[in-house]
Amino acid sequence: MITYDSSLAATARCALLSFDATMRSNLSVALPIDLWCYRTGSLRAEMRVDIGESDPYLATLRTRFGQGMLDLFHHLPDPTWTPAEEAAAAG
C-alpha cells in the first residue's frame, strides 16, 4: 500500500489501520494511539494525532475499511472447481 512517494496522510492511515488490526488480534495492544510526525533530522514533532476509545476518526476508519474489504470480497472471482472424482483420479 505504501511506497516511497506516498503522502504523509496515506502513510498515517496505513499505520492506523495496522494498529487497529493489531488491537483486534492481540489483547495486549490497546488504545490510546499517539501518532507523532517528525521531519527527517529534526527532534521536534510538527504534527500529532491522539486517538482514544471514542474517537470519531477511528470509528470512521474502521467502518469504511471494513465495508471496503467486504465489498472487495464480494467482487472477487470464485475458484475454478474440479469435481472431487477427477481430482482423486488425477492424483
Decide: 13 and 68 in contact? Cβ < 8 Å: no
**pLDDT digits over 28-84, tens only?**
999 999 999 988 898 899 899 999 999 999 999 999 999 999 999 999 999 999 888
Please report the pLDDT score of residue 54 as a whole number. Answer: 94
- Whether 6 shows a pLDDT value over 90: the answer reads yes
Count CA atoms closer than 13 A to 83's CA, side-chain side: 3
